[in-house]
Structure 1
Amino acid sequence: MNSAIAANHQLAGKRVLLTGATGGIGRAVARRLAAAGASVLFVARQPAELLLLSQQLPGTHSCFSADLTATEELKALADFVKATGGIDVLINNAGTSQFALTAEQDYAAQMSLNLLAPMQLCQLLLPELSQRTAATIVNIGSAFGSIGYPGFSGYCASKFGLRGFTEALKREVSSKALRVLYFAPRATQTAINSAAVVAMNQELGNAMDKPDDVAAELMQQLQTGQSRWYIGWPEKFFVRLNALLPELVDRAIGGKRAVIRTYAAGSTDSVQIQNNLSNSAEKITATRS
């Protein structure tokens, strides 16, 4: 990306819509966006947490409480964006995960929040973003959006889908003025991972990144405009290997399957799904200067 185009996409003075703002990665990204001089529209389900987050950060920000799995609330969010001057950057970060064997998976919940919500939000806000002189869409995927992993069949399916959607959208609408980016973290130290996931990763030697380190990588992608951004080694290697020689990855993961199944069979991640997708009784829109 040349320096002139990069300059057009600097964050200072830009308005950014960040979904999942009260989660682990969301909070870390919010802090870095505010520090970069962006005005952020924080979106999540919890009104009180949204207001507290906006009050803790420098700058002028706004909040919108919504259940992104509800079509009418997505439309209300899009209407709010248009009524308040639009946005320059959309970061689809909200998501949920479930670690469990296939028989116990809640596929509808994961597909609704991880895949359909960002697709529909892009669809609703694309006319607005297309009118900006410099705009960006970032869809937060996962290394599991390229590598199918036991115990995460629903999550993998949703992130595979999001990667495919982002790729298609980029090839359809991207230009010097409108960038479409895909960002893929690996396991991160947030509440989305249950105790069973953490224990399994420790036994298998799988790295888990700090949320602020992930946020720093996202800021680098926003600065450079690189279309696809994967975090971590050997995850980057396995993403490429799985695309070229999936049989080798079958064997590598197959050697760990007994350990994964042991943790997945005893997991209580169904509770995590319910907590992540519970509706807020109170919906708010609020601004602070």
Structure 2
Amino acid sequence: MSPRDASVVLTGAAGGLGSAIARRLFEEGACLLLVGRSEAPLLTLARSLSVGARDRSRVDALVVDVTTDAGRAAVIDAAGARNANVLINNAAVAAFGPAQALQSEAARRLMETNVVAPMMLTAGMLPMLLTRPRAQVLNIGSTLGSLGVPGFSAYAASKAALRIYSEALRRELADSCVRVQYYAPRAIDTPFNSPEVQAFNEETHSASDSPEKIAQGVSRLLQSGSTQRYAGGFEAIAARLNGLFPEWLDGAFAKHRRALKSLKFPNGASS
């Protein structure tokens, strides 16, 4: 779908990647409903996009928590008013550290934000999207959802769940007007990464991308109509190889295990 034909609901819009996606799609002609929990950066982003725009109604902001029923209901109402035909589930929280340090509240928040919220928001918006001539649901996942890396066990589990959900939903809606897509970035240079993650990536020489580059990839995926895409050629090959022969790659993560053990975390946890 061309951005000029898209009325987009974008969750997690105030974050580093979300704001880059918003700017990219707005520049390309899309209408945007920016959704997020952080009021000040969300409204600042909406104002910055509308400055100089011929039609300021092309962008609006909604400060809600999509992990709540009330928040999702508000998004669905606003999406209906804006004749939305694209949903980008981008909101997410991070998790990194040794598996034994995972706390129940952090695990609950991780799954509610990264898995339950996009599933329930999609479920709520589908009756409306199915009435459009064309519609798309794009879920922002991660390479880690296809390639398990030490230190990211909980986060990877949440993204793997989103990946399989996207795959099943795509097949369920294959004969409808709704196209389901999945985009898997690798590491992104944003504050989403904690200092520990940054140190880990540096020690393991993990490649990363700018949020603007990933936003470009998201736009291309929307326009191409392809089902899924991975950022980074090596990561795409590794993810596919891991799906076929996962044990073959186990030995490749020795440096990641060493890097994880060398780190000190704010809560005192260590491997």
Q: TM-score, normalised by structure 1?
A: 0.86
On the 8 A contact 1:98/1:269 being kept in 2, the answer is: no
On the 8 A contact 1:194/1:269 being kept in 2, the answer is: no
Determine whether 1:140 maps to 2:132: no
Say which of 81, 87, 90 aligns to 1:90.
Answer: 87
On the 8 A contact 1:99/1:267 being kept in 2, the answer is: no
The count of residues paired between Structure 1 and Structure 2 equals 259
Say which of 28, 53, 67 aligns to 2:65.
Answer: 67
On the 8 A contact 1:110/1:155 being kept in 2, the answer is: yes
User: What does 1:199-238 correspond to in 2, within 5 Å?
Assistant: 199-238=199-238
On the 8 A contact 1:100/1:269 being kept in 2, the answer is: no
Deviations 1:215-269 (A, max 9, x none): 1111111111110100113211210111011111111113431222322xx2338
Q: Offset of 1:178 from its aligned partner?
A: 1.6
Deviations 1:13-34 (A, max 9, x none): 4210000101111111001111
Higher relative contact order, structure no. (Cα contacts within 8 Å, ≥ 6 residues apart): 1
Which residue identity is paired with 1:158?
S
In structure 1, stretches of 5+ residues that fail to align are: 1-8, 271-289
Between the aligned partners of 1:171 and 1:219, the Cα distance in structure 2 is 22
| Cα root mean square deviation, aligned | 1.6
Q: More displaced, 169-178 or 131-140?
A: 169-178
2:184 is matched with 184
Say which of 17, 25, 30 aligns to 2:22.
Answer: 30
Which residue identity is paired with 1:203?
E
In structure 2, stretches of 5+ residues that fail to align are: none
Q: Offset of 1:134 from its aligned partner?
A: 1.1
Which residue identity is paired with 2:45?
L
Alpha carbons of structure 1 residues 215 and 18: separation in structure 2 relative to 1, 3 Å: same
Between the aligned partners of 1:191 and 1:101, the Cα distance in structure 2 is 20
1:160 is matched with 160
Q: TM-score, normalised by structure 2?
A: 0.91
Determine whether 1:54 maps to 2:46: yes
Q: Offset of 1:72 from its aligned partner?
A: 2.1
Between the aligned partners of 1:102 and 1:175, the Cα distance in structure 2 is 41
Alpha carbons of structure 1 residues 127 and 267: separation in structure 2 relative to 1, 3 Å: same
On the 8 A contact 2:130/2:176 being kept in 1, the answer is: no
Say which of 17, 27, 34 aligns to 1:42.
Answer: 34
SS at match of 1:234: helix
Deviations 1:169-214 (A, max 9, x none): 0000134732100000000001111111111111111111100001
SS at match of 1:214: helix
